[in-house]
Structure formats: structure tokens, C-alpha cells
Amino acid sequence: MDTTSKEREALKHKKRVVVKIGSSSLQHSETGGMDYVRMERLVRELCDMKNRGMDVILVSSGAIAAGRNTMHLKPKGSGGSVALTMAEKQACSAIGQARLMEIYQKLFGEYNQITAQILMTKNTIVDDMNRVNATNTFAELMEMGVIPVVNENDTIATYEIEIGDNDTLSAIVAAMVGADLLILLSDIDGLYTDDPRTNPDAEFISQVNELTEEYLSMGKASTGSNVGTGGMNTKMIAARIATKSGADMVISNSNDLSNIHRIIDGEQIGTLFLAHEDPGFDLPVFVDGLHKKKG
């Protein structure tokens, strides 16, 4: 049994938590069909967090994947699958987002929780009026005890205004709502010194006290998923946003969703990045510069 650090213990007392789940964790890779068992477990974990008295925000991918499946298009990355045009992708996200919400509403409803949908683009943060409006809406929903389900507005997001991945989006949401914890559920256990799939000597890092250049360069290795858009690099961008905004962040494997309550119970699971609030951190300026950095 791992000994837990005082930083892990502190996770028991978090008040407002953003949880991000990726497309690959929500669908069966072979068929592209929704994984209802996983979704049900996720919802149950989140409802339990609510019952502990925490505010909960879910950032869920899977709109495009669900739309592809609805339209009988092969799942991304599977044999015989075709790349979608921008218009097809936008159409699939419109179809799939509604499906996704339908399932979430049904599952959260079983535990008497109310959900709300928030779709964002880069403009939601960069444009002052949009940002203030979105921030106010989040605040009101929190006040009402509702669980916001957030995604990028892929139906209208093109290169110029897209955030591009939900790791980054979830950290932006954490900053906007003043969350004190962000949990990124991924298809990897956390941060390694190198890509563990290619380097057997790669070491697991369970805690990052400060996000130095050394750690950021470890994030260059990507995950194996074909479905989502987030590799480890986007998780490092998320870590920068979250920790500078005053939130701790944990990357954990989504293959076992009980990891969510185990993290909240202070267990040594995944990689914990400690918050270092930076009062000079300017979220809109950082987000505006994202594409320029990504290239």
C-alpha cells in the first residue's frame, strides 16, 4: 500500500472539481458504439461527489464519435474508416452532442441530478463579453446545484476559433469556475519520464510539485488513442492553465472509473500536479496564443 502525501490528503477537502473524460473512454473502439457501462459508472462517481458536497463540472468529449456512430460511419482509426471533411465533422458533432446529452440526462436523472449543456469555443474566453456571460452562467448553475456538461462547440469551431482538444478546454473551465481540482481521465496512468509504450525504462511520476521545463518536455510523448485529440502534450498545457489558476490537477487512467473516488479519498493514483496560483496569469491572453504556439 502506497503511503499518501499530505498533498494527497488535501484532495479530500476539495470543493469544486472539474472532471474530463475523452471520446476513447466513452465508446467501444471496435464498433464505435457508446459504452453505456462506462458512462453509467462515470455518472455514478460524479453523483457521489455531489453527495459529498462538492460542486461538479463534467467536460465530456465524444460528440463527433457519437455522431459518426449514429450515421453508421466507421469509428475514427478503425479499419476502413475515412477522414471526415470539416462540414461532415461539424454535422456529426451536432448529431452526436444531442445524443450524448440525452444519455447523460437520463443517467444523471436516475440519481436525481440536473445537468446543463455548455458549448464553448476560443471566442468564449478571448471575447470579453462572451467570457463574462459564460462565467456568470457557470456561477449561476453552481449556485443552483446543477452539473454542467461542457464540450467544445465543434459545430461552429473552425481552426481560427477552435480550442482543439478537451484537455485544454477542461483546464480553461477549471480556471473560469474557480475550481480547486481538475481530474483528467485518460488512456494512460499519468506522466512518465518517457513514452512507456516505446521505452520500458520510462519511470512513472506520481507528483509534480512545480511544472518546470523538464516536466513539460516529458509531455511531448503522445497517448495511443486514435479517437480523441489529446496526447500528453495537451495535458501539459492543461496543467499549466490549471496550476497557474490555482487548481491541483490529476491525470488518471479511465480504465477504472473508481479511480475518481479513490483520488478524492487521497489515494496515490495517477500524477498529481500541485497548484501554484499565479496572480499575473492572464487566461484570455494565454488562450489567444494557443494556436500560435501549436502551429
**At 115, is the secondary structure helix, strand, or coil?**
strand
Return the range that interacts with ligand GLU (CB under 6 A); candidates 116-124, 186-194, 223-231, 261-269: 223-231
Binding residue for ligand GLU (CB under 6 A) from 124, 186, 229, 271?
A: 229
d(CA 13, CA 11): 5
45, 154, 162, 248: residue in contact with ligand GLU (rule CB under 6 A): 154
Cβ atoms < 10 Å from Cβ of 240? 21
147 vs 149 by CB, closer to ligand GLU: 149
Three state DSSP letters for 163-183:
CCCHHHHHHHHHHHHCCCEEE
Closer CB to ligand GLU, residue 68 or residue 131? 68
Burial degree of 187 (CB within 10 A; 0-12, 13-18, 19+): middle
What are the backbone dihedrals phi and psi of residue 29, each rounded to the nearest 5 degrees, phi first? -65, -35
Choose, by CB under 6 A, the member of 165, 190, 223, 232 that binds ligand GLU. 165
Residue 263 engages ligand GLU in binding (rule: CB under 6 A): no
| Separation of alpha carbons 267 and 95, rounded Å | 39
Q: Residues with Cβ < 8 Å from 15, sequence gap 6 or more?
A: 53, 54, 55, 180
Under rule CB under 6 A, which residues in 57-76 are in contact with ligand GLU?
A: 61-65
# chain residues binding ligand GLU, by CB under 6 A: 16
Residue span binding ligand GLU (CB under 6 A) among the ranges 207-215, 222-230, 260-268, 275-283: 222-230
d(CA 211, CA 200): 24
Query: Are 243 and 275 contacting, i.e. CB atoms less than 8 angstroms apart?
Result: yes
Q: Which three cell numbers stand for residue 122?
A: 476560443
Residue 81 grid cell: 474508416
CA distance 102 to 292: 36
- CB of residue 212 vs ligand GLU: minimum separation in angstroms? 25
Shortest spacing between CB 255 and ligand GLU, in angstroms: 17
Could you say whether residue 22 binds ligand GLU (CB under 6 A)? yes
CB-wise, 65 or 101, nearer to ligand GLU?
A: 65
Which of 25, 123, 124, 166 is in the footprint of ligand GLU by CB under 6 A? 166
Q: Which cell numbers in the block locate residue 167?
A: 484537455
Q: How far is the CB of 291 from ligand GLU (least distance, A)?
A: 15
Report, in Å, the least distance between residue 106 CB and ligand GLU. Answer: 18
Stretch near ligand GLU under the rule CB under 6 A, chosen from 34-42, 151-159, 172-180, 277-285: 151-159
Q: Which stretch binds ligand GLU (CB under 6 A): 106-114, 181-189, 196-204, 225-233?
A: 225-233
Over the window 33 to 52, marking each residue x when it contacts ligand GLU by CB under 6 A and - when it does not, the resulting string is --------------------
Contact present, 179 and 57 (Cβ < 8 Å): yes
Query: Binding of ligand GLU at residue 248 (CB under 6 A)?
Result: no
Q: Say if CB 175 and CB 247 are below 8 A apart.
A: yes
Binding residues (CB under 6 A) for ligand GLU: these are 22-23, 61-65, 93, 151-152, 154, 165-166, 228-230
